[in-house]
Amino acid sequence: MLSPEVLRKLEASEARFEELTALLSDPAVASSGERFKKVSKERAGLEATVLALRAWRKLSRDIEDNRALLADAELREMAKEELAALEPRLAPAEEQLKILLVPRDPNDDKDVIVEVRAGAGGDEAGLFAAELLRTYLRYAERRGWRAEVMDSSPGALGGIKEATVTISGDAVYSWLKYESGVHRVQRVPATEAQGRIHTSTVTVAVMPEAEDVDVQINPSDLEVDTMRSTGSGGQSVNTTDSAVRITHKPSGVVVKCQQEKSQLKNRSMAMKMLRAKLYEMEMEKQRSARDAARKSQVGTGDRSEKIRTYNFPQDRLTDHRIGYTRHNLPSVMDGDVQDVVDACRTYFAAEALKEASRSEPEKRA
């Protein structure tokens, strides 16, 4: 159920939306290209919230109307059928409104660069890293996003030490940003003769792609090396010095791209990866300044640091941050994780809304 405070904010957004709609018809606004653009942009930013609010109101009215009909002997059965279809839609509609009310992250519309690294656990960590990478690739495919592996370091037994992937599509960062952290797996490794359950970890970092305007890089701060690509690939991929490694000397950040046959394309992609890493570092500094006790998004990869556990003997996934559990891990590993992503978005939107509500009295004071 929506609280009076949430309703008040939603109604304020609706009032502002109506005000902006009227402004667009004002000749003074229409004749000013810059102002018209500004008003249109603000109105567009409120439209989804207002439409969802009005849909929720209609849904609530329909539910109340049908509940009133339960007292009518002739219409009771029809009302019950209507309520059975309408009532399950109410809670999701309210959760969506809460999400829409949260101030939008300016990075939400950006594409992302995802890094998957084997953590603690030896070869088993590398195997699970490869499986988790496939999970994200399959999820991207399900969403209709474009995913491309930019760099990958093979590990033992078909696993990987680390891999970097770019994922582009509609507001990708808004969906994947809560995947950052340590993912723990508990299962019996294929190489374990005794059948003992083994625990290992994989770290995931999701970074919004940064543009030149987001991060300024001095060319003199870069050390660029070219080398022959490694791993499986086409004939010319492994026989020319097309792979590019860039070191940002001030920060020590190193990126590498060997996906393309063209050295120029690999350099362009490596620069994109570097900008994303430097941008993420800057965002982390800002977050740390607001909350000095906050840990970095990935941590050390130690088993004690985890956001999620994949327990194969019990066929269970648990997200420890939000207390969410689901089963059917084979489906999860095949990219069927939309429910987990939705649960994270809803939880953290509610937390952000609480934080915004707490900060409002401070601002007024």
Query: Under DSSP, is residue 183 helix (H, G, I), strand (E, B) or coil?
Result: strand
Tokens of 213: 């305007």
Q: Which domains does the chain have, with CATH numbers?
A: 4-101 (1.20.58), 112-351 (3.30.70.1660)
Contact 312, 333 (CB under 8 A): no
Tokens of 214: 């987001």
Instruction: Return the pLDDT at 236.
Output: 44
Among 32-41, 100-109, 208-217, 313-322, the range with the most confident prediction by mean pLDDT is 313-322
Confidence of residue 298 (pLDDT cuts 50, 70, 90): low
Measured N-to-C along each axis, helices 33-69 and 4-24 cross at an angle, to the nearest 10 degrees, of: 130
Query: Under DSSP, is residue 164 helix (H, G, I), strand (E, B) or coil?
Result: strand
Least confident of 57-61, 170-174, 310-314: 170-174
Instruction: Return the pLDDT at 287.
Output: 66
Phi/psi at 235 (5° precision): -60, -50
Question: CA-based angle 112:289:294, to the nearest 5?
Answer: 70
Handedness of CA 209, 215, 219, 224 (dihedral sign): negative
Q: What is the pLDDT of residues 11-46, one digit of tens each?
A: 999 999 999 999 999 999 989 888 998 999 899 889
Nearest to 57 by CA among 22, 25, 18, 93: 93
For the cut 80, the answer to whether the pLDDT of residue 353 exceeds it is no
219 vs 290, residue with greater confidence: 219
Instruction: Return the pLDDT at 114.
Output: 95
Confidence of residue 289 (pLDDT cuts 50, 70, 90): low
**Mean pLDDT confidence for 208-218:** 80
Instruction: Return the pLDDT at 293.
Output: 37
332 vs 288, residue with greater confidence: 332
Long-range contacts from 100-105, C-beta under 8 angstroms, 24+ separation: 100/48, 100/49, 100/52, 101/6, 101/9, 101/10, 101/13, 101/49, 101/353, 102/349, 102/352, 102/353, 102/356, 103/352, 103/356, 104/45, 105/173, 105/174, 105/177
Q: Whole-model pTM above 0.85?
A: no
Q: What distance in Å separates the CA atoms of residue 360 and residue 363, rounded to the nearest whole number? A: 5
Half-sphere exposure of 196 (CA within 13 A, CB side): 7
325's CB contacts (< 8 A; 6+ apart) are 316, 317, 318, 319
Q: What distance in Å separates the CA atoms of residue 163 and residue 231, rounded to the nearest whole number? A: 12
Q: What distance in Å separates the CA atoms of residue 273 and residue 250, rounded to the nearest whole number? A: 16
Mean pLDDT taken over the chain: 87
Q: Residue 99, Cβ neighbours under 10 Å: how many?
A: 18
Tokens of 133: 């990478």
Confidence of residue 262 (pLDDT cuts 50, 70, 90): confident
Confidence of residue 363 (pLDDT cuts 50, 70, 90): very low
Handedness of CA 172, 136, 336, 2 (dihedral sign): negative
DSSP 206-241: EEE---TTT----GGGEEEEEE---SS--TTTTTSS
Confidence of residue 364 (pLDDT cuts 50, 70, 90): very low
Q: Distance between terminal CA atoms of the chain?
A: 29
Confidence of residue 82 (pLDDT cuts 50, 70, 90): very high
Confidence of residue 240 (pLDDT cuts 50, 70, 90): low
55 vs 212, residue with greater confidence: 55
**Mean pLDDT confidence for 88-107:** 86
Classify residue 37 as exposed, middle or buried by CB count within 10 Å of its CB (0-12, 13-18, 19+): exposed
Question: CA-based angle 340:346:351, to the nearest 5?
Answer: 125
For the cut 80, the answer to whether the pLDDT of residue 358 exceeds it is no
Percentage with pLDDT > 70 across the chain: 87
Instruction: Return the pLDDT at 294.
Output: 35
Q: What is the pLDDT of residues 144-156, one digit of tens each?
A: 999 999 889 998 8
132 vs 236, residue with greater confidence: 132
**Mean pLDDT confidence for 199-224:** 88
